[in-house]
Homo-oligomer: A and B are copies of this chain.
Amino acid sequence: MNLISIEKIVIIGTGRVATQLGSAFHNAGFSVAQVYGRNPRAAAMLAAKLDCPYTSDLGMIYHDADLYLLAVADDAISHISGELNQIRGLLVHTSGFQPVSAIHQEISRKGVFYPLQTFSFDRNPVFSEIPFFVEADNEADTQLLEQLAFKLSSTVVRSTSQQRQQLHLAAVFVCNFSNAMYDMGHELIKSNQLNFDLLKPLIRETAEKALQMDPSLAQTGPARRNDNNVLMAHRQILQQYPQLSSVYASVTDYILNKYHNTGYEQL
């Protein structure tokens, strides 16, 4: 089995991952054969972008494709793959969290093709920089996915389901949770009649620093300095924001424990 045999790709799903991965394959010179989407309008839109036919009927998905890219919600993986028991090609899901075994047991060739990135409909990611994590049930299919991923990106890693799950958790912290921090900053600055734009250079520089040094070396702020006056004053201000107060306590506690062997409750 080599890459030459991936001629027919079916994209299942019309969300952000399906759209961006479908476009990446399209741009890399692969021809996408078909798009499936539950919602015909969304399927039509993505199919137009990828220059191919679409269907919103599971029963009409081609049986003879080489690769099925199942980019759907985690809890739809089992159901949709269960409807595809007549296919012979390799079926992969794109979830960071789900094991290969989330794919229905009647599918003979299954795997995972997980790009570690946060996707939007309207922002074009630089695919060559996105790490791909691949996994399959056998060596031939693993190599196939590896080679395929290298057509899109320069970073491809074989990983077990368990490794990928922990990686996905790390991604929740650096992506979803750092965005939540931005959102909390937004809430605080808005309630003070100032504009969120004022925080943007700081957000950019904080991320840039993390790209260049170990984040523990880049850590600054009152908890890092163990500056009790500031910590107590912040606690005071945050009494009006109970949710933020609880986040403040837990993150400050993490930093105080790590750098000063003390905790927030000891203040």
Contact = CB atoms under 8 A, between A and B. Distances in A.
A203 B209 contact: no
A221 B176 contact: yes
Interface residues of A, number: 91
A105 interface: no
B253 A246 contact: yes
B178 A216 contact: no
B188 A170 contact: yes
A129 B201 contact: yes
A97 B210 contact: no
A139 interface: no
A45 interface: no
Interface of A: 73-75, 97, 116-118, 120, 123, 125-126, 129-131, 155, 157, 159, 163, 165-167, 169-186, 188-189, 191-192, 194, 196, 198-212, 214-216, 218-225, 227, 229-230, 233-234, 237-238, 243-244, 246-251, 253-255, 257-258
